[in-house]
Amino acid sequence: MNNRSMQTAARQPHTESRGRLRFTYLIFIGSLLLMIVSIIFSAFTAHRSYEAQLPQQNIEQLVRDMRQFHQQAGHFPRDFRELDERLWQHARRERITGDGKSLSSPSNNYHYTLLTVAPDSACIWAVPTGARAGEAATHFWYVTPTRVERWMGAALTLEQVSVVKDVPSESQLALLAMTKQTSPSDARAPSDDGVFSIFSLLGF
């Protein structure tokens, strides 16, 4: 065997060793990158899941639907079943309670209760539910075709709200730590247009 053949034979094991080392190094880098991506994705998924648990009320949409129902039928719906039949096309049937008065919304972690007082007036309770219910607010809205009175307070439980069977008085709302909210559309004083408070119309 000549010298060139001997040198070539001697380099082959060394070259193979370097190739295996490089391959092992690439595997290690790939595994490390995959682990980092997995950790970031897991943290992102956990964060999104945590944020999704925060209740987000959607009473505005309910009020719009109720007023649309009123325009069509001449009165507010007596319960959520009527609203579901006329406007929602039974899309929320499974989330409405047997008596038709309550609607659960797992997607935004709120439970709504509808109390129809008269053909032209109704009220809605919105109670936060889920793991982060304590971080959200409870809402009570009194609705007519043209006006809304809004009350808001700390998170209440469904049991606490269920004690109030009828339209609550202002003193009852105060006992539940609910406070009246104002908005630009409601900012006018009653003397401006001769319209009394909705609660005063009901004798509260």
Q: CB-based contacts of 148: which residues, under 8 Å, 6+ apart?
A: 63, 141, 142, 186
pLDDT tens digits along 93-125: 999 999 999 999 888 999 999 998 899 999 999
Question: Strands 137-143 and 148-154, how do they pair?
Answer: antiparallel
pLDDT tens digits along 141-196: 999 999 999 999 999 988 888 777 678 888 888 888 899 998 654 433 333 333 33
Amino acid at position 21, single letter:
L
Q: Judge if pTM exceeds 0.75.
A: no
Backbone phi, psi, residue 89, to 5°: 55, 40
DSSP output for 133-200 = GGGSEEEEEEE-SS-EEEEEEE---HHHHHT--SPPPHHHHHHTTEEEE--GGG-S-HHHHTPPPHHH
